[in-house]
Chain A
Amino acid sequence: MGGERRKTFVAREDLLEEMSIMAKSKGKTLYETVNETFESALAFNSLGLNPKDALKDCGKLKSLQERGYVLCLENLWSDINTIAFMHSKEKSMEAWYAAGRWLAMRLKSSTPGSISGSGSLSGSARLQLEDLREELASTIWNLAELSVEEKGEEARVTLISPRLSKELSELVSTFLSGAFEASGYEAVEKSVRTGNIRHLYRYRKSASGGSGGL
């Protein structure tokens, strides 16, 4: 390191100040931290990776981590769910229903103004279907089709994924039921076939599910 030739470059002062704070927090010098950043950029380049895409993917990973997801091979996930389903269909469905309910409550409670002074969800809090659609789209990578459409008081959800087994299709359907029912919707129509889930819901004014889900 001692014999290394150094050069100077010019960059925005605010960026360098932030880099300096970051370096200090890690017990490093600015010189070391900037060099590491450059080394990583070169490694990205040699792998054909774009740092901007990297940033996007890291943001997504972090967000999914915080939302309680883990990565799992689809085959494995399908098989362990099938085994659990065979052992106890009721208990499996219960777990998936609870996960759907939890998701809906989490999404609803993240809406500004959704929590009353007493800490409970306000009656007017309503699941933003676009949030639900985004959540499903970001967690299931091999979706052939996903749509969550709202028309007046009705919501129609279509999820098509040929890789879903019969059992997993039923469980994902239960997950969706949990999410919608905890959000004040009642099912009007449900169709579940292997890899093909279609639900139609109607919004009930007196939404239940505000307690116990969080």
Chain B
Amino acid sequence: MKETEKRGKKLVYISEDLLDKVALISKQRGESTVRFIEDLLAQALRIDRLGFAYREIADLLEMVHVQRVLGSSFVPLDVMNSICERNGRDESMLKEWYDSGRTYGIYIRDKYDDPIQILETMLRVMRWDLNEVEARRDGERVVFRCVSTSLSKDGAEWLARFLEGAMDGIGYQKEGGEVMKGLALLSFRKRAS
């Protein structure tokens, strides 16, 4: 504490509205506003050092929550890839991925206002071997683009089936797409209710 006090202090600008809201939270928690703000800044810096964007953290934590609720586990990617290499095209295996996606889709459709955005974040969290995940929206149409330099053709098929299942659960039907080594590009249209 003494060491902190010895450190220099500086003034910085902030939006008045935001500062008032943060000050209110610190008061509700019984903490000094200055200390509370410094803690926030320190946490933001640590999160940045870990390679995450502070703005995405709430989504990321929501995903962890979804994974826990639905009963997920961290599994070795090498074993996953080995199974995929040996049994990737097995129809029963593909069906498992579709069904699993559907379970996620139904859950996030019922729980979140924007399930597409949640699914996009979820794919980032679940499949760390994906370099890019993007959901492009155009009215009733959504195009998912997943890119990975390490994704095999069969791995991309698994991912595509999972995505199809998830979008089906959310209420979209597949229109078309392209699945190849390193890329899954799928287009969906909202089902008429």
List the interface of chain A (C-beta within 8 A of B): 4-16, 18-19, 22, 30-31, 34-45, 47, 49, 51-55, 57-59, 61-62, 64-65, 68-77, 79-81, 83-84, 87-88, 91-92, 95-96, 98-99, 102-103, 138-142, 163
Contact = CB atoms under 8 A, between A and B. Distances in A.
Interface stretch (B7-15, B136-144, B181-189): B7-15
Contacts of A99: 76, 78-79
Contacts of A69: 74-77, 128
A11 B10 contact: yes
Nearest to B4: A12
Rank and list the top 3 A-B pairs by shortest CB-CB distance, nearest first: A95-B82, A13-B8, A69-B74
Nearest to A51: B43
Contacts, number: 237
Interface of B: 4, 7-19, 21-22, 25, 33-34, 37-48, 50-52, 54-55, 57-58, 60-62, 64, 67-68, 70-80, 82-83, 86-87, 90, 92-93, 96-97, 99-100, 103-104, 125-129
Given A38-B18, A70-B127, A16 B73 contact: no
Given A4-B15, A11-B34, A141-B68, A19 B41 contact: yes
A111 B90 CA distance: 41
Nearest to A18: B45
Contacts of B45: 15, 18-19, 22
Interface of B is mostly: helix
B67 A71 contact: yes
A77 to B, nearest CB: 5
Contact of B96 (A8, A11, A79): A79
Nearest to A42: B21
Interface of A is mostly: helix
Interface centre among A52, A64, A69, A81 (most CB of B within 10 A): A69
A95 B40 CA distance: 44
B152 to A, nearest CB: 14
B60 to A, nearest CB: 7
A9 B14 contact: yes
A102 B78 contact: yes
Contact of A138 (B54, B74, B86, B97): B74
A5 B13 CA distance: 10
Contacts of B90: 83, 87
Contacts of B129: 70
A95 B78 contact: yes
Nearest to B54: A40
Given A47-B62, A71-B74, A11 B79 contact: no
